[in-house]
Structure 1
Amino acid sequence: MAKTSTLRTRRAAEAEPDEPREGGWGIVVVIAAHLSFAIQLGMMRSPGVLYLSWQDDFGTNDRETAAVQSVFSSVSCFSVFLGGILTERFGCRISGMAGGILMTLGLLSSYWVTDFYQLYFTFSIIGAGTGISSNSAVVVVAMYFKRKYKIAHALAISGEGTGIMAAPPLLQFLLESFGWRGTLLIASAVAANSVAFCALFRPNGATQKSKDNLNSNQQNPAAKNGSETANMSNDEHINDENSRRSDDVLELEQIGLPTEHGTTANSKTGYVSLTFDTKNSNPILKLLKRLLVSLGFHLFVKSYRFVLLCAVYLEFDIPYLGFAVYLVPRAQSVGVAPSSAVILLSIFGIGNLLGRLGSGLLVSWRISAEHVTAISMLIAGVSLLLLKLESYYVFAIASFLFGFVSGFFFAIMIVLTRQFVGVRKLAVGLGFSQIFLGIGAISGPLLAGWILDLTGDSYQTVFYVGSAVCFICAVQMLLLPLLRRVEPGIDISPNDI
């Protein structure tokens, strides 16, 4: 019995990933991820600077012009799932560099467009590169940090706030000096630096060693079983076979599929032994089950909180993109000079940066993330209502408040995703959540443009609708503790919480 206990302890140690080394090269990774986010997301979240120039040059309406931001944002969100697959297959460094190359090529090709609809294609390339590269930046920080992950993640993701803060004045200066074509050409050169930053995402030695051990055990089961069988009695060999069967049961149970006895086991009540019946089992069905598990679709069955999180992602992206696109045009509609209007986006970026940094502090203090996020949604709704007042100072206050709460929201939602699905499925879980964010990115600007065309350029109506959506998100965030009590749950390491 003592030998059997020792064997199980050794297997458990092999199944768990080694603890990542915190500090050292991880600090370089956080800095590189911060700068990568500043380029990938911050600069690309400033479409309002080029908005009126596109309308004057191509003669497009509000819906057609806003669709450029919609295409970029939606494709960037959808491609995060592809980035998750590439990250798991090739690692964070290769996938991040590939995304940076795509983004650079998309910006470079935008210089030569002759028709406005060609911008949809070029910005979809930019969006694909952004999504792939941002996934690797999020995952690589999670690989290097465990105890200090929340703070490290906040520092890395705050790069978007840095980019939003610095990019609008820079783009406005380039627009006045070189036009919108020259602005995009120079932006492509800036985006190329993200390839160099992603090259610093080298694999974590401890995590890579754990993966190599797991792969060698899967590829050489005969050698492993032979060495273990030589030191085990018959009873120990039977226990070994049962433990391997439980792994197959786990893959089926993760997507809620029945076992051979017609029951669906619960992760809270234990696992049911399974022996495959070669006569009755369908190879295609078995392959499909394993494919669904490997792609992460079992997350929607096991974690109801993750499902609600995806829904909130979709909803909040509607007012977020509406604010980013129409803040500058709204200010200019009440007589604010263009150079002063773009400063509002910088103020929005400052708030976004502080919100992302503050998320790490608040979570480290063990404050309920669900309740704080619900309060932040209420503040976001109020800040959108402030845009009704035609005062530049009120616009500045609203920009800072909305930037702060939106920065906090996007930072804390990634932390919650890690808690709900675990580090092992973070890349895929992040990809799924970003797909819903992409749906919001499609519908948000298009809905706002449709409202503007319907109401005759009434920006106030757009912000009224966005405010109502924020209030709905606040109510939904309060449901997360209730869903935790009824969901089946996913086996997650306590360090992910």
Structure 2
Amino acid sequence: MISAAFCTSILQLYICIGVISGFGLALNLQPSVIIIGKYFLKRRPIANGLAMAGSPVMLCTLAPLNQFLFDHFGWRGSFFILGAILLNCCVAGALFRPIGMAASPAPKQAIKHAGQEQPSKSLVEMVHPNTVSSLAGTGEKEDKDCCEKFNKYLDLSLFKHRGFLIYLIGNVLMFLGFFAPIVFLAPYAKHLGIDEYSAAFLLSILAMVDMVARPATGIIANSKWVRPKIQYFFSFSIAFNGACHLLCPLATGYTGLVVYSVFFGLAFGMVCAMLFETLMDLVGAARFTSAVGLVTIAECCTILLGPPIGGTLIDTFGDYKYMFIKCGAVMVLAGIFLFIMNYYNYRMLAKEEKEKKEMEENMQNSKHIRTETEDGNIWDKEKMQDGSEAEPLREELGLKKEVNGKSEV
């Protein structure tokens, strides 16, 4: 951001603001979201809502601050001051601490010894006639190790996860219309004849409502009635967001835009508060790191396409209402899709859980029957052994009786 203050062309601004600043902000957001999942479990939705409430605080002051800085310091001075403000994120990042005991060095030493023993084994195997097969086996092991290391950082097996795929498709569709209304809200107000400061203040209204909506949504999502079915609540918030955009063209004055900004801020805060909580609810905390990375990679395309498509509609028709209708229709469609597919996912999960319980009961019953049959077989074997041992004694007793009988006669 600071380097953008010294740019002399649009291409340099694209590199400094788009590439370098975007990369830095990504490194800022992703770890903070992941660390929340590591620190909290029982009240995780509230923690997510409170943590996400920080961004609207800056958004609330950013629009008038940008206008003030531009008027007094120009665009170069504005970038320089904003970059200095962003440097304070380094202090916040330095306060994060890992959770859990540090790993003992003993396993590492064992791994080193194992690694040192492997070359000697390979020399022995070279003497063996089956050298080619042994080398092929070591090659396969190395490939497996590489795949395991890669999956450790980016778990591609998530693409086989039903809930993750539903979330990914719904969010990719949603982001086509998620950010464009924020980008074009102030220009739309200016298009209606509203002055620059009043148009910028609409974003401040949106941010103030958003700041309250995020922690409030976290409290609601953490309740015992909503958290078991939080995916439905997330689907509703997306559809509600889309409905606000569909009704925005009805606002033809500043009062109508203020009302739209209030409802848009509420819907925007609801979605942002549950955006990562619903993903963690689906994949679990252990796979959340990889899931966030994969979702972000897939969502970037639609996030980049959303505003340009909206701008194309504005340039084509010469009116902002078609852009708001497009965004609203896409988000309502995404909310309906997520609601239907999450209903299907909940039904399938309940069915799989039921089948799992039945299998466990059947296994327990089969084990019980097996133990009973084994006890019965042991009992029969003991009786047979007792019978075979008792036959010689019976024969001896019978002979004694016969001899005694003859002697008596």
Normalised-by-shorter TM-score class: 0.7 to 0.9
Q: Could you report, residue by residue, the CA deviation over 1:163-222 in whole angstroms, capped at 9, with x for unpaired residues?
A: 111221211211222222221111011111111111111223xx2x1x525x85466369
Contact 1:304 1:484 in 2 (8 A): no
Could you tell me which residue of structure 1 aligns to residue 61 of structure 2? Answer: 166
Could you tell me which residue of structure 2 aligns to residue 212 of structure 1? Answer: 103
Q: Which residue of 181, 198, 215 maps to 1:340?
A: 198
Matching residue's letter, 1:174: L
Matched positions, count: 326
Q: Which residue of 91, 94, 99 maps to 1:199?
A: 94
Distance 1:462 1:179 in 2: 31
Contact 2:40 2:47 in 1 (8 A): yes
Could you tell me which residue of structure 2 aligns to residue 140 of structure 1? Answer: 35
Could you tell me which residue of structure 2 aligns to residue 5 of structure 1? Answer: none
Matching residue's letter, 2:287: K
Distance 1:369 1:363 in 2: 7
* Mapped pair 1:384 → 2:250: no
Could you tell me which residue of structure 1 aligns to residue 338 of structure 2? Answer: 477
Matching residue's letter, 1:143: K
* Mapped pair 1:109 → 2:3: yes
* Mapped pair 1:282 → 2:176: no
Q: Could you report, residue by residue, the CA deviation over 1:448-494 in whole angstroms, capped at 9, with x for unpaired residues?
A: 122222223x21111110011111111122112313555799xxxxx
The residue correspondences of 1:364-443 to structure 2 (distance < 5 A) are 364-366=222-224, 367=226, 368-388=229-249, 389-443=251-305
Q: 1:292 to 1:179 in 2, by over 3 A?
A: same
Distance 2:287 2:5 in 1: 39
Q: 1:455 to 1:298 in 2, by over 3 A?
A: same
Q: 1:283 to 1:197 in 2, by over 3 A?
A: same
Q: Could you report, residue by residue, the CA deviation over 1:283-328 in whole angstroms, capped at 9, with x for unpaired residues?
A: 4542454245323334434422112212222222222221111000
Determine which structure has the larger helix proportion and give its number: 2
Could you tell me which residue of structure 1 aligns to residue 82 of structure 2? Answer: 187
Q: 1:304 to 1:277 in 2, by over 3 A?
A: farther
Task: State the superposition RMSD in angstroms.
Answer: 2.7
Matching residue's letter, 2:223: W
Could you tell me which residue of structure 1 aligns to residue 368 of structure 2? Answer: none
Q: 1:295 to 1:202 in 2, by over 3 A?
A: closer
Provide the secondary structure at the position in 1 that maps to 2:84: helix
Matching residue's letter, 2:337: Q
Matching residue's letter, 2:4: S
* Mapped pair 1:463 → 2:324: yes
Distance 1:369 1:219 in 2: 46
Could you tell me which residue of structure 2 aligns to residue 297 of structure 1? Answer: 155
Provide the secondary structure at the position in 2 that maps to 1:396: helix
Contact 1:383 1:399 in 2 (8 A): no
Could you tell me which residue of structure 2 aligns to residue 126 of structure 1? Answer: 21
Tell me, which stretches of 5 or more residues in structure 1 are unaligned? 1-106, 225-275, 490-497
Q: Which residue of 308, 312, 320 maps to 1:450?
A: 312
Contact 1:385 1:464 in 2 (8 A): yes
Could you tell me which residue of structure 2 aligns to residue 262 of structure 1? Answer: none
Matching residue's letter, 2:208: I
Rg larger for: 2
Contact 1:151 1:364 in 2 (8 A): yes
Q: Could you report, residue by residue, the CA deviation over 1:224-276 in whole angstroms, capped at 9, with x for unpaired residues?
A: 9xxxxxxxxxxxxxxxxxxxxxxxxxxxxxxxxxxxxxxxxxxxxxxxxxxx9
Tell me, which stretches of 5 or more residues in structure 2 are unaligned? 115-133, 353-409
Between 479-488 and 169-178, the greater mean CA deviation after superposition: 479-488
Q: 1:216 to 1:327 in 2, by over 3 A?
A: farther
Q: 1:117 to 1:280 in 2, by over 3 A?
A: closer
Matching residue's letter, 1:311: I
Contact 1:377 1:471 in 2 (8 A): yes
Provide the secondary structure at the position in 2 that maps to 1:319: coil
Provide the secondary structure at the position in 2 that maps to 1:212: coil
Q: 1:460 to 1:285 in 2, by over 3 A?
A: same
Q: Could you report, residue by residue, the CA deviation over 1:359-403 in whole angstroms, capped at 9, with x for unpaired residues?
A: 211111131322222222222122112321212121112112122
TM-score when normalising by structure 2: 0.73
Q: 1:483 to 1:179 in 2, by over 3 A?
A: same
Residue 126 of structure 1 and its aligned partner are, at CA, apart by: 0.6
Distance 1:301 1:280 in 2: 29
* Mapped pair 1:313 → 2:203: no
Distance 1:464 1:162 in 2: 28
Distance 2:187 2:166 in 1: 33
After TM superposition, where is structure 1 displaced by more than 6 Å over at least 4 residues in a row?
A: 221-224
Identity of aligned pairs, percent? 23
Contact 1:295 1:428 in 2 (8 A): yes
Residue 430 of structure 1 and its aligned partner are, at CA, apart by: 1.1
